[in-house]
Amino acid sequence: MERKIYRVVRGMRDLLPKDLVAWRRLEAHAADLARRFGYQEIRPPLLEETELFRRSVGEVTDIVEKEMFTVERGEHSFTLRPEGTAGVVRAYVEAGFAKTAPLQKLWYLGPMFRYERPQKGRERQFTQFGVECIGSLDPRLDAECIALAVRFFEGLGLGAAGGLEVRINSMGDGDDRDRFREAVRAFVAPKLAQYSEDSQRRFERNVLRILDSKDPRDIELNRGAPQLIDFLSDENREHFDKVKGCLGAIDVKVVVDPTVVRGLDYYTRTIFEVHYPALGARSALCGGGRYDHLVEQLGGPSVPAVGFAIGFSGTLLALQELGLLADDEPTGPDVHVVLADGVTELEGLLLADQLRQAGLSAAFDAEGRRMKAQMKNAVRSGARLAVILGPEELERGEVQIKDLLSAEQSAVPRAQLPERARFLLAQVPPTQVAP
Ligand code: HAM
């Protein structure tokens, strides 16, 4: 019978133990920063009703038109979340926060799913770290949000020096948007036939999406298009000026880029992206902005909000390119048990169990290796200590304990093994001792 090799689904990947060293670093960094900025974690489910994304992200967007992983079950249609904002806002409304504690600063980290063409830094399952600050229009919160994203990258060594660019813009709101939409329509109309099929189709239903097209023809045709920033009402311009003022005050460097439009429909006022230009056409590591009507659109009261999401795939690529990813292997156990000939194999399990019960990590050989090979394996595993048991030690109720860094070895009564191991593990490794 032919043996079939099963492969991971295209655009998705396995994170192996060695990959997870860097991932955990990002996860811990994200959680720590979110805490420092006063955010609390939220974990909505990965699956939501499809309708939720249609209403929030927008019917006429790439995500909703082409990229959703949707399952139908009877009457119901569910979709694996393509982004986190919609679910968080749904949860905000459902939990009744608007009545009890309207200002909520929430963060999340986890997988998102989009049926995109897999390419450098773009996957069909990818991880986002996102924050949503729901309940205030205060421009200091827009600045705080942008600062949090920037500090995330800076903390990884990926600041402006690494070539990172923070681009901000304002989408305006209400009237400004309507007037802008008309101006874009008038700009596109005479050459509509030259635009990509997608853009032609979107002309009637969502003309602003044409400005966000990634099609090279469209990008060329869009040169010289009207810019929303020229249509802002006094109130929205003032809000944007305050955001920029706050960013200046906390020394977060940004460039105003009127071509930033974002690909999701819910945005209003401040929008921003953090780019690592070396990644090419899809260089955004982070995107976000205000969405002052989404809570209301999803059935809640009128509550403004601002947030962002950082993609881990792009961030890791940037770190790798800049040589900022340490090549760390996962760390081995604290202690490796080594058994000499003439000792029953069960002793390996017993010693490891004794150490584990005392809170240490321990491993034993399960591949039938000779003692010498067990020692080699102990060293290779990265364990700091080897615990060696031979027939003589067994008889005396002792074990040998060897510091694999200093090569010092001594006998210790079995009952005192965990205590002795803990003492040795606390010693500065000899390689780190000052000369
Ligand atoms: P987004 O711009 O669609 O915004 O995604 C944010 C970031 O997620 C992107 O800048 C990119 O780094 C990463 N990303 C998106 N798609 C992929 C993919 N297929 N593979 C790898 N990385 C990807 C949002 O998702 C909004 N919910 C952000 C937000 C939160 N706005 C307000 N609050």
Residue 264 Cα: closest atom of ligand 1: 3
List the structure tokens of 431.
Answer: 């390689």
Residue 282 maps to which CATH number?
3.30.930.10
Asked if the model's pLDDT at residue 2 lies above 90, the reply is no
Residue 45 in any domain: the answer is: yes
Which domain range does residue 124 map to?
Answer: 20-172+232-321
Q: What is the pLDDT averaged over residues 395-405? A: 97
122 Cα–ligand 1 center, Å:
10
Per-residue pLDDT band at 163 (split at 50, 70, 90): confident
Q: Do 48 and 164 sit in the same domain of this protein?
A: yes
Q: pLDDT by residue (tens digit) across 10-62?
A: 999 999 998 999 999 999 999 999 999 999 999 999 999 999 999 999 999 99
Residue 346 maps to which CATH number?
3.40.50.800
Asked if the model's pLDDT at residue 433 lies above 60, the reply is no
> β-strand 284-290 against 305-311: which pairing, if any?
antiparallel
Alpha carbon separation from 14 to 20, 94, 120 (Å, rounded): 10, 34, 16
Among 321, 343, 365, give the residue marking a domain's end. Answer: 321
Q: Do 346 and 417 sit in the same domain of this protein?
A: yes
Residues 6+ apart with CB under 8 A from 185: 203, 207
87 lines ligand 1 (CB under 6 A): no
84 Cα–ligand 1 center, Å:
9
Q: Do 292 and 157 sit in the same domain of this protein?
A: yes
34 lines ligand 1 (CB under 6 A): no
Q: Do 136 and 281 sit in the same domain of this protein?
A: yes
Residue 432 in any domain: the answer is: no
Q: Do 286 and 402 sit in the same domain of this protein?
A: no
Per-residue pLDDT band at 431 (split at 50, 70, 90): low
Q: Do 258 and 380 sit in the same domain of this protein?
A: no
Among 297, 321, 345, give the residue marking a domain's end. Answer: 321
Count structural domains, the chain: 2
Inter-axis angle of helices 17-36 and 312-321, nearest 10: 110
Q: Do 163 and 39 sit in the same domain of this protein?
A: yes
Percent of the chain whose pLDDT exceeds 90: 89
44 lines ligand 1 (CB under 6 A): no
pLDDT reported for residue 432? 53
> β-strand 165-170 against 255-256: which pairing, if any?
parallel
Q: How far apart are CA 131 and CA 147, in angstroms?
A: 12
Pick left, alpha or beta for residue 181 (phi over 0 → left; psi -120 to 50 → alpha; otherwise beta): alpha
Residue 189 in any domain: the answer is: no
Q: pLDDT by residue (tens digit) across 273-317?
A: 999 998 887 899 999 999 999 999 999 999 999 999 999 999 999
296 Cα–ligand 1 center, Å:
22
Asked if the model's pLDDT at residue 409 lies above 90, the reply is yes
Q: Do 359 and 415 sit in the same domain of this protein?
A: yes
Residue 327 in any domain: the answer is: no
pLDDT reported for residue 280? 84
125 Cα–ligand 1 center, Å:
12
pLDDT reported for residue 279? 85
Q: pLDDT by residue (tens digit) across 237-274?
A: 999 999 999 999 999 999 999 999 898 999 999 999 99
Per-residue pLDDT band at 435 (split at 50, 70, 90): very low
Q: What are phi and psi of 13, to 5 degrees?
A: -150, 160
Per-residue pLDDT band at 326 (split at 50, 70, 90): confident
Q: Do 141 and 270 sit in the same domain of this protein?
A: yes
Residue 80 in any domain: the answer is: yes
Q: Do 316 and 391 sit in the same domain of this protein?
A: no
**pLDDT, averaged across the chain:** 94
pLDDT reported for residue 331? 80
Q: Do 301 and 343 sit in the same domain of this protein?
A: no
287 Cα–ligand 1 center, Å:
6
Ligand 1 pocket: which of 128, 214, 319 to mutate (most atoms within 8 A of CB): 128
Q: Do 101 and 146 sit in the same domain of this protein?
A: yes
Angle at 239 between CA 235 and CA 241, to 5 degrees: 115
Q: pLDDT by residue (tens digit) across 179-188?
A: 999 999 999 9
Asked if the model's pLDDT at residue 329 lies above 80, the reply is no
Residue 50 in any domain: the answer is: yes
Residue 3 in any domain: the answer is: no
145 lines ligand 1 (CB under 6 A): no
Q: pLDDT by residue (tens digit) across 168-223?
A: 999 999 889 889 999 999 999 999 999 999 999 999 999 999 998 989 999 999 99
153 lines ligand 1 (CB under 6 A): no
Residue 243 in any domain: the answer is: yes
pLDDT reported for residue 232? 96
Among 272, 290, 321, give the residue marking a domain's end. Answer: 321
Q: How far apart are CA 270 and CA 394, in angstroms?
A: 71
